Amino acid sequence: MPLMFVSGVFFIITMLDFLENEITKNFPQISEKILQGLQEPSIVSIKLNPFKIPEKHFFEKLEKVPWSKFGYYLQERPSFVNDPLWHCGAYYVQEASSMFLDFIIQEILKITPKNFNWKILDLCAAPGGKTWSLASNFPIDSFVLANEIDPLRINILKHNVSVLGFPNIYISNNQPNEFPKEPLFDFILVDAPCSGEGMFRKHSDSLKNNLNHEYIQICAKRQKNILHEIKDLITPGGYLVYSTCTFNLEENEKLINEFLSQNHEFETFELSFPKEWNIFIGRYQKSIFYRFFPGITRGEGFSITILRKKGSLSSEGFSLPLKKNKHSTNSWIKNHLKNPENYSFFFKNQSYFAIKKNHFAFWEFIQTELKMIKNGILIGNQKSNDFLPEQEWVWNIDANDEIYPKYPLDKNQAIKYLSKETFKIEFQEIGINIMMYQGIFLGLANNIGKRWNNLLPKIYKIRKSFNGWL
């Protein structure tokens, strides 16, 4: 495929020609529908946060994504940046096809003891949509490590994970070969970096140098290396879920077939689902993929497979001798959380953190092995004799809503607050106040009497040139 183009029109036609050849060769029986679908507008969908349901149930009239309990289709793409519900983590803008991970998790949970303590790794986690799926579908006490290989994508991941507000998500920034080579995780998701053919409708401009056989081979080699590095991290009886947003066989069926042929301890895990979902099942020798095609399934291009490591999941916990924290945390700090008895608290670099007690031993081990970016809940910071709660605490679903007075904002006020504009508020109490929108924590304000200070971090301020974290 030529990499140079004379005009945008020539460029689009060239990419379509490449895709047409590949799709017709690999999927002749459905190629016409796929190619037609690629020229139709992309579909917009969101996933609700089950722990941050707004007072006004705007989603009740929306069409459900059939394979996701919390997924909904939108008729058009609104301005998400002007919706306070998006800013406080009531929903996440996620592509509908990738929500199939929700269904996979639910099927696995059906055959697993309810009290099993899951340790989960999202290896290539940014921007964080699939981390949302993992945290919202697995039990809330599961340990979820969202790792991002690319350091330039850590900030987007940290924001999206923090605004979600789940207390059981941790973040690391490591290459696959930097993980200790021992079975640590019961479920690993590899949403692999790929050539991105399936995102043609949404991101055609960014694919201009990707749609050629040479780049596909580069991607496949990188994906093989990733799988080789992390295969030993999976516990016996554990699951490896591999996905891409591309169509070709080299990055999907052929790659996984080769992996299965070389690693006999893994086997495919098959699913059953309603035929009307129109999910295409791709088979190549040992491998089985569940494929989503524009024009056939309501979503963008997406491919996913589930592998299981032979053996039985062990319910034994991870244990290490606990290190005593030299700094004692007072009860007032602890009461910033709803159930402080379920947490271990520690003080580091003038900041207070909380980690679930059933996570602490495992966290103590991995934080010595990996470059950790987010450790439990950052409650707040100590400045001289003053304590100031953090925005991360505000977003967290375990934040105690009784420790500070609350002030409800209407939509116009919420937008002004998020824009850090000055407007009049009749606070009832001096000091820290929690700004609320539709019953959900939005941010903090400090009422000092004659005026009030907006404590929203500048990084989250709405700007006219703001592109969001989507």
- Concatenated DSSP letters of 172-193: E---GGGS-SS--EEEEEEE--
pLDDT of residue 206: 55
User: Mean pLDDT lowest for which of 86-100, 188-202, 257-271, 375-389?
Assistant: 188-202
Q: What is the pTM of this model?
A: 0.92
Q: Quick one: pLDDT band at residue 2, thresholds 50, 70, 90? A: very low
Average pLDDT, the chain: 90
64-74 in b/e form (b: 16+ CB < 10 A) is: ebbbbebbbee
Which residues in 344-367 are b (16+ Cβ under 10 Å) and which e? bbbbeeeebbbbbebbbebbbebe
87 and 51 in a single domain? The answer is yes
**Rounded distance between C-alpha atoms, residue 119 and residue 323, angstroms:** 21
Contacts of 246 (CB under 8 A, 6+ apart): 194, 195, 196, 197, 198, 216, 219, 252, 301, 303
Domain assignment of residue 319, yes or no: no
Q: Is the pLDDT of residue 6 over 50?
A: no
At 162, which CATH number? 3.40.50.150
- Going by pLDDT thresholds of 50, 70 and 90, the confidence category of residue 131 is very high
d(CA 375, CA 235) in angstroms, rounded, equals: 23
Closest CA to 194 of 268, 261, 289, 285: 289
- Report if residue 1 sits inside a domain: no
364 and 452 housed in the same domain: no
Average pLDDT, integer, range 271-299: 97
Alpha carbons 58 and 151: distance in angstroms, whole number: 36
DSSP code, position 74: E
Q: Which of 279, 309, 339 is the last residue of a domain?
A: 309
Amino acid at 114: K
Q: What is the CATH number of the domain that holds 412?
A: 3.10.450.720
Last residue of a domain, one of 309, 334, 362: 309
Question: Does residue 397 sit within a domain?
Answer: no
Cis peptide before 127 (omega within 30 of 0): yes
Tell whether 335 is covered by a domain: yes
| CA–CA dist 283, 202 (Å, integer) | 27
Contact (CB, 8 A) for 302 and 198 = yes
Number of compact structural domains in the chain: 3
Is 395 contained in some domain? no
Task: Output the six-digit token pair for 218.
Answer: 């580069």
Indicate if the pLDDT at residue 429 is higher than 60: yes
Find the domain containing 340 and state its range.
324-386
Whether residues 245 and 344 fall in one domain: no
Backbone angles phi, psi at 271, to 5 degrees: -120, 155
Q: Do residues 36 and 175 share a domain?
A: yes
- Of the residues 267, 284, 309, the one at which a domain ends: 309
Q: What are phi and psi of 39, to 5 degrees?
A: -100, 5
Return the pLDDT at 58.
83
396 lies in a domain? no
Q: What's the full length of the chain, in residues?
A: 470
Looking at residue 39, its pLDDT comes to 87
Give the pLDDT mean for 454-464.
89
362 and 432 in a common domain: no
Q: Are 210 and 329 members of one domain?
A: no
Instruction: Look at strands 343-348 and 302-309 and give their pairing.
Output: unpaired
Backbone angles phi, psi at 281, to 5 degrees: -100, 115
317 vs 275, more confident: 275
Mean pLDDT of 398-415: 96
- Which residues are CB-contacts of 451 (< 8 A; sequence separation ≥ 6)? none
The predicted-structure confidence for 291-337, as pLDDT tens digits, reads as follows: 999 999 999 999 999 999 999 998 765 555 555 554 567 899 999 99
- Return the DSSP state at 311: S
d(CA 147, CA 162): 14
CB 357 within 8 A of CB 344: yes
Tell me the percentage of the chain whose pLDDT exceeds 90.
Answer: 80
Identify whether residues 338 and 441 lie together within a single domain.
Answer: no
Strand bridging mode 280-284 / 44-48: unpaired
Please indicate, yes or no, whether residues 221 and 344 belong to a single structural domain of this protein.
no
What is the pairing mode between strands 431-437 and 406-408? Answer: parallel
Q: And the tokens for 426?
A: 């009749």
Mean pLDDT of 228-243: 97
Residue 314 lies in a domain: no
Residues 21 and 116 in one domain: yes
Residues with Cβ within 8 Å of residue 443, at least 6 apart in sequence: 391, 394, 417, 418, 434, 435, 454, 455, 456, 460
Residue-wise pLDDT tens digits, 144-173:
999 999 999 999 999 999 999 999 999 999
Could you count the other beta carbons within 10 Å of the beta carbon of residue 324?
6
3-state class of 317 per DSSP? coil
What would the two tokens of residue 202 be?
Answer: 């949404």
Under 8 Å between Cβ of 366 and 372: yes
Q: Compute the distance between CA of residue 80 and CA of residue 60 in angstroms, rounded to an integer.
A: 18
Question: Is there a single domain that holds both residue 30 and residue 175?
Answer: yes
**DSSP conformational letter for 276:** G
In 3D space, the residue among 172, 228, 142, 144 whose CA is nearest the CA of residue 369 turns out to be 172
Is 187 in the same domain as 117? yes
Strand ordering across the sheet containing 386-389: 343-348, 351-356, 377-383, 386-389
Q: Which pLDDT score is estimated for 442?
A: 97
Whether 199 is in a domain gets the answer yes
Lowest mean pLDDT among 76-90, 306-320, 449-463: 306-320
Confidence band of 210 (pLDDT split at 50, 70, 90): low
* 328 and 268 share one domain: no
- Sheet of strand 431-437: strand arrangement: 406-408, 431-437, 440-447, 452-454
